[in-house]
Amino acid sequence: MDILLNKRGNAWIMSQVLTIFVLSRVSIANSVPANFILGDSLVDTGNNNYIVSLSKANYIPNGIDFGRPTGRYTNGRTIADIIGQELGFEDFTPPFLAPTTVGSVVLRGVNYASGGGGILNYTGKIFIDNFANTRQDIIASIGAPATLSLLKMSLFAVVIGSNDFINNYLTPVVSAVEQKVVPPEVFVDIVLARFRLQLTRLYNLGARKILVANVGPIGCIPYQRDTNPAAGDNCVSFSNQIAQLYNTELRSLITELGANLEGSNFVYADVYRIVNDILHNYRSYGFENANASCCYAAGHFGGLIPCGPSSKVCFDRSKYVFWDPYHPSDAANVIIAKRLLDGDSKDISPLNIRRLATI
């Protein structure tokens, strides 16, 4: 009898815990009515499927653990996908250019991210222009007051900047001349001056809860390792140094914008710190490889050719930090997303995403 009561008691406790968990997810979802994503291939969910671009991921083996290729540059979900799920959204935030992203669909958010996108190139402006168009569509649907209220409570995630270094300032051979003419400090200032304008415009269009991710340790991605063989088995120090220089200045910019733009809640996501920790302690996270691509075709680290139909794929994707020459695997994205959701002020400040969602 005591055993039976104990089992019933445990079952009741478990049911209450489950109820609280479900209600908390519903509560968070209600406080974040929509999720808007701006950025590059790290969070692209298929926009590049609809444009003329050399950067595409809508073919196998991309999406091998998602069920099909969708245009995501990974084997499964992006960081933004996972965060959306954790916040209680039933569906993934749809790509802006998909023909089905119309009508009431946009009231739950839109993904404007595009593989190859950057702050300096034209796509940086295009992201904001596209959001401005969506904003007008929402106003036409529910009116201006309701739109401003919706945008005020919505989450805006801005994940961009890596391509301004990887495919610009750090491009092999081509960048050598630029680096002699433009010192790293000057280049970083140019990038951030443009980014300031873009983030301020996003605020002026109604965004208030704005998460901005910094640039990760780009010197450690397989592409950088293979194009800088002198680094051996180490990360490329110069690439990481310029990323850290940028990140230091970006943190100051985010703090300044948060202090000066009334009613704003800017959050600085230290992706560099999180990924660097994963790379240095990868075995403690359950990984077996932290320097090579799971999807590989050429190069010592599999970093010379993008993942494509002719590529080979590692047996267990969950054991690799990197899916391809540039992007994390689904397993790595889960760790990054959860630390942004629940991490302390060293990972994300001044608020983590769950706290940001409830204010």
To the query of whether residue 41 is one of the catalytic residues in this protein, the response is: yes
Q: Is the dihedral of CA 67, 72, 78, 84 positive or negative?
A: negative
CA-nearest of 75, 35, 158, 58 to 332 is 75
Encoded tokens for 224: 């950088």
Catalytic residue among 327, 329, 330, 347: 327
Burial (0-12, 13-18, 19+ Cβ within 10 Å), 3: exposed
List 41, 114, 154, 329, catalytic entry = 41
Report how far residue 290's alpha carbon sits from residue 94's, in angstroms, rounded to the nearest whole number: 30
**327: annotated active-site residue:** yes
Which neighbouring-strand residues pair with 349? 268
Q: Which of these is catalytic: 40, 81, 270, 324?
A: 324
Produce one character per residue of 170-200: b if its CB has 16 or more CB atoms within 10 Å, e if not.
Answer: beeeebeeeeeeeeeeebbeebbebbeebbe
324 carries an active-site annotation = yes
Which residues have a catalytic role annotated? Answer: 41, 324, 327
